[in-house]
């Protein structure tokens, strides 16, 4: 526990916040009553709406067009008056979301849209980032993992794995996280065996990663070793499918803790130690499940997730719909926490490419962020075991050199013997679910 406290201290120093204080806050707030949550949210809403109206050009125009003033939005119940903001609005007017006094907040630049095929950029202030981290640590502790003190095997892309650049700051950052990183690009059976041996020999008992990536390890272990006991496994970024949960719980011999996250709306929901529906993390955002008219659905009904970030003043997200759906639940969890609960539907999922050269290419291993400035939408399609296509809809004119660069990038990730082509298209077909997938495999 001493190392855990040290890790929190160092992380706070890096980000400029008292992380220990934030962790204590979210440990207290998780047991607030519904009345306490209402009071907390209403207090934040009044300040947030006034700030957004005065400082965000987009929301000033958005409210004026709807005939609204800050005085009209004083409580959570008043949010329904605000028209829903969608990802297309963010793509078209992202610069206008940014507050004119964003310089007063320590902003971090982010990208989103990789899992939906519609990339876009946004900013997050460091307080929101730090609060989100505190909420992640709380989820980890529900599974028995203590940040910094326990080793966490992380099987994901660059968004979850700390950078490997040199320098004492990066070495310190890796020490603080205490991660054992398993990059999901270029996986082979030899590499999977090496990772298995490390996890087993060094008694790593906690894992975190994308469900599709963790499934690659679970299936390998099942075929070659049978089991790899863990204390807890945390899944994130994609929809966790029932068959994935079943196989992974059998192989890792523990329960999975599933999570839902939306960075561009500060939305979070996590599975607790009772392993039922997901608890909404109400400290950083207000999550509403709404019908086609934008009104909250009833208990047990399905609707669209709409988020209002409570603290991201430098780049407000108010009544923002990221494109995900969920079922609203008003049941009281046996754990005693009274937060809202949801069951996520049509969540983020991806296909793994099992290529003819033996490589396993996971969707999230692709450098999606590099496409956000020039490309409106994209999709990677595995046409055959030895053939992959990249479909792109550019924001404007895209040069032949850039297309060649994208082709070379994909060829690098696919490896030898795989034919890759880049196609500029006007339209990318949506699946029946309506959830755009940026990776599709036509190979069974």
315-to-211, 372, 418 alpha-carbon distances in Å: 30, 18, 42
CATH for 352-441 is 3.30.300.30
d(CA 297, CA 75): 18
DSSP-derived secondary structure letter, 426: S
Q: Where are the beta strands (DSSP E) in 282-413?
A: 285-290, 302-309, 320-321, 325-329, 341-345, 352-354, 360-362, 375-384, 387-394
Rounded CA-CA distance 255/211 in Å is 13
Q: Per the structure block, which two tokens stand in for 235?
A: 């899944």
Measured CA to CA, the distance from residue 284 to residue 268 in angstroms comes to 8
145, 207 Cβ separation under 8 angstroms = no
State the CB neighbour count (10 A cutoff) for residue 367.
Answer: 13
Answer whether 0.75 is exceeded by the pTM. yes
Examine domains 1-349 and 352-441 and report if their fold is the same: no
pLDDT 10s per residue in the chain (444 long)? 566 777 777 777 766 778 888 999 999 999 999 999 999 999 999 999 999 999 999 999 999 999 999 999 999 999 999 999 998 899 899 899 999 999 898 888 887 655 555 567 889 988 898 899 899 999 999 999 998 889 999 987 655 555 555 566 666 677 777 889 888 777 888 999 999 999 999 999 999 998 888 988 998 999 999 999 999 999 988 778 888 899 999 999 999 999 998 888 899 999 999 998 999 999 999 999 999 999 999 999 999 999 999 999 999 999 999 888 899 998 889 999 999 999 876 555 555 788 999 888 766 566 655 666 678 778 889 999 999 999 998 888 888 998 998 899 888 888 899 999 999 998 888 664 444 677 788 887
- Domain spanning 1-349, CATH class: alpha beta
Domain residue ranges in the chain: 1-349, 352-441
């Amino acid at each position: 526990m001493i190392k855990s406290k040290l890790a929190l201290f160092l992380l706070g120093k890096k980000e400029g916040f008292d992380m220990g204080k934030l962790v204590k806050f979210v440990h207290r707030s998780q047991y607030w009553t519904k009345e306490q949550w209402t009071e907390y949210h209403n207090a934040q809403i009044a300040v947030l709406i006034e700030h957004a109206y005065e400082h965000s050009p987009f929301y000033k125009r958005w409210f004026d067009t709807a005939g609204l003033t800050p005085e009209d939005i004083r409580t959570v119940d008043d949010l329904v008056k605000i028209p829903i903001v969608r990802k297309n609005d963010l793509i078209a007017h992202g610069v206008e979301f940014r507050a004119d006094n964003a310089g007063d907040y320590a902003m971090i630049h982010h990208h989103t849209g990789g899992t939906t095929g519609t990339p876009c950029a946004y900013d997050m202030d460091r307080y929101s980032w730090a609060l989100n981290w505190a909420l992640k640590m709380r989820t980890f502790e529900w599974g028995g993992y203590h940040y910094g003190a326990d080793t966490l095997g992380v099987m994901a892309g660059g968004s979850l794995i700390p950078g490997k650049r040199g320098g004492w700051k990066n070495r310190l950052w890796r020490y603080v996280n205490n991660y054992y990183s398993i990059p999901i690009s270029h996986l082979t059976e030899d590499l999977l065996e090496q990772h298995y041996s490390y996890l087993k020999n060094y008694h790593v008992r906690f894992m975190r990663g994308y469900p599709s990536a963790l499934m690659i390890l679970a299936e390998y272990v099942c075929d070659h070793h049978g089991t790899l006991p863990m204390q807890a496994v945390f899944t994130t970024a994609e929809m966790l499918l029932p068959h994935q949960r079943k196989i992974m719980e059998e192989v890792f011999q523990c329960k999975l803790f599933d999570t839902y996250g939306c960075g561009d709306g500060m939305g979070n929901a996590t599975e607790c130690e009772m392993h039922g529906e997901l608890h909404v993390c109400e400290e950083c955002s207000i999550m509403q499940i709404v019908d086609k008219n934008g009104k909250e659905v009833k208990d047990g009904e399905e609707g669209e997730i709409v988020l209002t970030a409570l603290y991201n003043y430098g780049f407000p997200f108010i009544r923002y719909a990221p494109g995900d759906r969920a079922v609203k639940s008003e049941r009281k969890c046996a754990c005693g926490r009274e937060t809202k609960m949801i069951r996520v539907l049509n969540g983020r999922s991806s296909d793994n490419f099992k290529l003819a050269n033996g490589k396993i290419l996971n969707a999230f291993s692709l450098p999606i962020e590099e496409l956000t400035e020039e490309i409106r939408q994209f999709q990677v399609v595995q046409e055959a075991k030895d053939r992959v296509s990249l479909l792109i809809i550019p924001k404007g004119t895209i040069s032949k050199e850039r297309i060649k660069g994208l082709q070379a990038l994909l060829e690098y990730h696919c490896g030898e013997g795989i034919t890759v082509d880049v196609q500029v298209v006007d339209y990318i077909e949506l699946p029946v679910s309506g959830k755009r997938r940026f990776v599709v495999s036509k190979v069974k």
